[in-house]
Amino acid sequence: MPTDFSAQADYALHVASQLAKRHSCEIYLLHMLELPINEIDALSSHSDLPEAMFYMKLARKRFDEVLEKPFLKNIKVHEIVKFHQAFDGIIDTCKEYKIDLIIMGSHGVSGFKEMFIGSNTEKVVRTSDVPVLVIKNYHKSFKVNNFIYASDFTEENKDPFKKAVKFAKLINATMHLLMINTPNKFLTTDEADSRIQNFMKGVRFKNYTINIYNDYTIEKGILNFAHHIDAGLIGMSTHGRKGIAHFFNGSISEDLVNHAKRPVITFKI
**Do 7-135 and 146-268 come out as alike in CATH topology?**
yes
Tell me the C-alpha distance between 102 and 125, whole Å: 9
- How much is the average pLDDT of 92-106? 93
Angle at which helices 120-127 and 86-97 cross, to 10°: 40
138-to-13, 25, 118, 262, 263 alpha-carbon distances in Å: 10, 21, 23, 10, 10
148-to-2, 126, 231, 260, 263 alpha-carbon distances in Å: 25, 19, 7, 13, 11
Answer yes or no: is pLDDT of 45 > 60: no
Average pLDDT, the chain: 84
Q: What is the pLDDT of residues 130-146, one digit of tens each?
A: 999 999 999 999 999 99
Return all residues near 37 (Cβ < 8 A) that are at least 6 apart. Answer: 83, 84
Tell me the C-alpha distance between 153 and 9, whole Å: 33
- How much is the average pLDDT of 162-183? 95
Residue 55's pLDDT band, with cuts at 50, 70 and 90, is confident
Q: Domain 146-268 maps to which CATH number in 3.40.50.620, 1.10.510.10, 3.40.50.150, 3.90.1150.10?
A: 3.40.50.620
Q: What is the pLDDT of residues 5-20, one digit of tens each?
A: 889 999 999 999 999 9
Answer yes or no: is pLDDT of 58 > 90: no
Better pLDDT: 54 or 250: 54
Amino acid at 193: D
pTM (2 decimals)? Answer: 0.86
Tell me the C-alpha distance between 162 and 200, whole Å: 10
Amino acid at 266: T
- How much is the average pLDDT of 109-113? 44
Yes or no: say if 243 and 118 are a contact pair by the CB < 8 Å rule. Answer: no
Q: For the domain 7-135, what is the CATH code? A: 3.40.50.620
Domain ranges of the chain: 7-135, 146-268
* Residue among 79, 76, 51 nearest 65 (CA): 79
Q: How many CA atoms lie within 13 A of 169 on its CB side?
A: 10
